[in-house]
Structure 1
Amino acid sequence: MTGPGFPLETHSRFITLEGGEGAGKTTVLEALCEALRAQGLEVVRTREPGGTPLAEMIRSLLLDPAHEPPAPETELLLVFAARAQHVRETIAPALARGAWVISDRFTDSSYAYQGGGRGLDAAFIGELERRAVGLRPGLTLLLDIDVGQGRERARGRDQAPGGGGPDRIERERDEFFQRVRAAYRARAAAEPARFRVIDASQPAQAVADAAVTQLRAWQEREA
């Protein structure tokens, strides 16, 4: 429920990808963008934290393990500072001109990581969502994968040449990611009209195909 004077707008051309570590969001993101561009549509591909020069600087503060570890509340507020900038400078202008926007993570990640993982109050996160963001995706694809399998994939990616190693969040313990996954699944169960849960333990191409199928079904529904 939105607070007085702070409505949340849901936009049908705004699609988000969510999931834990190693879920394969990058591959799915590319497939979704290709599917939309093949229809002659403008697509803005973006990510969180990030999506603008200032938001990318905040991302570096949040994820670089060389920096001072932020308190949970500091982490949450920095994420929302980046998100507020992201919405105003990138997402909202793109939607206003008729483009589709696909974002690797959005506010659901705060409910999962800072809410489920860090134990911060969901009501506090919801208040920030209403006051600082004001926007919700029409469709959210949750790439769900067992924590152990996902982390093994992520380790392989980080150890590959040019992988760069794990960031500060990726260094958390399995118990943290179990709480993150549980929070994601709870949100998907509570909002079945917006969420589509995809089994991300499948081969990458199968996951991408399933995501594109969900996108096309969404387009038909919203046409």
Structure 2
Amino acid sequence: MTAALQRQPRLLSIEGGEGAGKSTVLSALREALLVDGHEVVSTREPGGTPLAERIRELLLGGTGETVHPQTELLLMFASRAQHVREVVLPALQRGAWVISDRFTDSSYAYQGAGRGLDEGYIAALEQQAVGIEPGLTLLLDLGVAHGRERTRGRDLLGGSVPDRIERERDSFFERVRDGFLARAAQHPDRFRVIDASHDAASVAAAALAALAGYREVSR
């Protein structure tokens, strides 16, 4: 029997597909917690430490060769293991709140549902390499076509080029979305699903309301 993951009440994760508005929501949550006098560490996956950011470059920038799904998964967990031990756990141990733009649920959605890798294998890696889970996960749910429109406009305005994963076909992102919704259905005590098709202010307000409700029942 595997040990249960240790739930961390002050660890918040924000999940969702491309263009869902995770950065805007993260900023709103961070500001709300800062106003209340809390230390807040905002971070992201893959990444969050110098080594993990180098792994992120490999994962998203590409290497000129095909990246096997299992290689992608293992690199994600290598980055996450470093991130958890160097950033997340130290912050939690000193009483800070941690808000992460993506966490392990993304691996279930992208490498599991999206790439077709076994969920049991991902769960074993989660147990061995991570060992913790968020107290609250906000899933910003958005249709794939709508998300594509947003990222296309963002890329044009910012002059950026879509990364290796962003260049996947719509069918891949449909599977990813289904994977996220399946995770939310499996873990209703931890997930709050937010309709991200509305304007940014409305989505941020819904996220803040979810955080307020979570903090109220967690006291």
Residue 75, structure 1, aligned to residue 68, structure 2: no
Equivalent-residue separation in structure 2 for 1:79 and 1:211 (angstroms): 26
| Aligned-pair CA distance for 1:66 | 5.3
Letter in 2 for 1:196: R
Aligned to 1:37: 34
Structure 1 unaligned segments of length 5 or more: list them: none
Aligned to 1:22: 19
1:55 counterpart residue number: 52
TM alignment of 1:91-130, pairs within 5 A: 91-130=88-127
Deviations 1:160-216 (A, max 9, x none): 13x421000000000000000001001101111000000000000000010001001
Partner of 1:11: 8
Alignment of 1:152-167 (within 5 A): 152-161=149-158, 163-167=159-163
Q: Which one-letter code corresponds to 1:151 in the other structure?
A: R
Which amino acid is the alignment partner of residue 215 of structure 2?
Answer: Q
Query: Is 1:211–2:204 an aligned residue pair?
Result: no
Query: What secondary structure is seen at the aligned counterpart in 2 of 1:159?
Result: helix
Report whether the alignment pairs 1:170 with 2:166.
Answer: yes
Whether 2:169 is the aligned partner of 1:182: answer: no
SS at structure 2 position matched to 1:182: helix
Pairing partner for 2:191 from 195, 198, 205: 195
Deviations 1:142-165 (A, max 9, x none): 00000000111011111213x421
CA contact (8 A) 1:149 1:201 kept: yes
Instruction: Give, in whole Å, the separation in 2 of the partners of 1:145 and 1:164.
Output: 22
- CA RMSD in angstroms comes to 1.0
Counterpart CA distance in 2 for 1:67 and 1:58 is: 15
4+ residue segments displaced more than 3 Å: none
Distance 1:130 1:68 in 2: 30
The CA deviation at 1:69 is 2.9
Give CA-to-partner distance per residue, 1:32-57, whole Å, 9 cap, x none.
00000000000000000000000000
SS at match of 2:166: helix
Task: Report the count of equivalent residues.
Answer: 219
- Is structure 2 residue 193 aligned with structure 1 residue 221? no
Cα deviation per residue 1:45-101 (whole Å; 9 max; x = unaligned)? 000000000000000000004542310000000000000000000000000000000
State how far apart, in whole Å, the 2-side matches of 1:24 and 1:145 are.
9
Contact 1:61 1:67 in 2 (8 A): no
Residue identity in the other structure for 1:96: Q
- The alignment's TM-score, normalised by the length of structure 2, stands at 0.98
Matched-pair identity in %:
63
CA distance in 2, matches of 1:194, 1:116: 20
| TM-score (normalizing by structure 1) | 0.96
Deviation at 1:110, TM superposition (A): 0.1
Q: Which moved more, 1:13-22 or 1:149-158?
A: 149-158
Amino acid at match of 1:178: E
